[in-house]
Structure 1
Amino acid sequence: MTPGLDALLAALYVFMDDHVAPPRRIGRPPRLTDAELLCLAVAQVLLGFPSARHFIRFAHARLGRLFRYLPQQSAYNKRLNTAGPLISHVIEALARQVPTWNDNLRLIDSTPLPCAASRETVKRSDLAGHCGYGYCRSHSRFFWGFRLYLVTTAEGMPVTWCLANPKIGEREVMTALLHRDHHLVHAGQVTLADKGFAGKEFEALLTEWFGVHPIRPDRKDEPVRHGRLARSRQWIEAVFDTLKGPLSLEHHGGRTPAGVFARTAQRLLALATAIWHNWTTGTKTKRSLIAYDH
């Protein structure tokens, strides 16, 4: 364990204790508080444990000094599966603390989130009826699962997000997401997207309803407006690379809609916490995870 991870978990615990009101509960308070649960969830992702079983075994051996109580695997999974809404609330609270929250640039994009690899699993999964088949153009392959839609700041801090069936059009999902979280969008912002969000109606809606200015790479069949924007588009691609690489997004292990939602939120929370803590400590590279992954 390094002082970097210890400091990050302590800072997240204090932040939640000061800024996030705990949900009301009936009966005896849990032995593991919500703040401690989310600190454990962040530690699991940053330390590279996709498996909760392996992580809980490690936590009992190495993290006992940081927590008053450590649950068993079944209790941890049960609490984590129901923590999705709380995690989303904490992500937004963290995002509001970074300086780029007030910037006029937002990155929007989507990426595949596979949930099964075999036909038998697809037929027997509790996710049947929620997931669907989609095509990933970047890797030229089909997948079965969800698509993750993400809105971030320039350095990758998650602002809002959702999961959707890949059969639903990207513009329709992003429109619904922005309508749901319209309080996170303000007039004058510039949204940088890819060609998948091309469409006069979608761009007009962003401009007229939300007052934002959509920018995307030009297609071959339209006049030159913004150019290719290849370098700027790499910002959001780098965020997805971090989520799928060090933060093991594609190995989430969710087996139910609530489980997939919570485990996706868990990865986004780990990213948001690292970026927020890097801003707080003055780290040069805001999305760097090097100090927290061992």
Structure 2
Amino acid sequence: MPFLTIAFPVFDPIAIAIGPIAIRWYALAYIGGIVLGWIYARSLLKNEKLWGGPAPITLPQLDDFILWVTVGIILGGRTGYVLFYNLSFFVAHPAEIFELWKGGMSFHGGFLGCVAAVIWFCRKNQLPILSLGDITTAVGPIGLFLGRLANFINSELWGRPADPSLPWAMVFPNGGPLPRHPSQLYEAGLEGILLFTILAVMIRLGALRRPGLILGSFIALYGLARITGECFREPDPQLGFLWGGLTMGMLLSVPMVIAGAVLIVMAWRRNHPKQVPAEGRP
């Protein structure tokens, strides 16, 4: 092993085991992301200054929406993985579509599931779709960060071979003898920490007063972050590199960048931010 290469710290993929019941880190990442996202979303809805008045969504409505978006994430994520990443395998083994504990989720599918949940819930409850979309995507990076950490713990979705002199290059136990980029940590930083920070700053500057601005920014910035991360990530073995050296993750992210940019322009042109009356003003 090269002198500067880091040996991967092997983790037990099972976080908690009580008798025959085993809870994996990946499941905890989903649970933690949803719970922390719910808490953060409630704090945003309570802060009227961010909206220029009362938020268009009540706290009880947000609480009801959590179940909807959870189902959307799971169904969309699994469906996306089946269709985008391993369709031929699941056509031959359809029963394994339902074996979620074996892994296999797609962010892009999960995102589409969230979109469906937002639209359906808003139509049922007569809520503004763009504002609920803003809240949902504002908290999204929390789950993305935890999910990428779970990928790292599971030693999956590791990076491409790296220069052995790279101080943080790692030899993953199931990635062969070559030192590789810890691309899961790169993506945790880009899709989680950086994206959350940018959206949080935008919110503090009044972005929630322009419905669709946070939603569009999340979509566009995630697409750019994912494309960047894919430059260091080993493509899925059943797919490999596609046209011109692109990966499936890159191809699925390009439409996100375009759609996000369109939403940003529309949000910016549609409404001017509401003005919060100054204290003492009649």
In terms of fraction of residues, the more helix-rich structure is 2
When the two structures are superposed, what TM-score results if normalisation uses the length of structure 1?
0.25
Structure with bigger gyration radius: 2
Question: Structure with the greater relative contact order (CA < 8 A, sep ≥ 6): 1 or 2?
Answer: 1
When the two structures are superposed, what TM-score results if normalisation uses the length of structure 2?
0.25
In terms of fraction of residues, the more strand-rich structure is 1
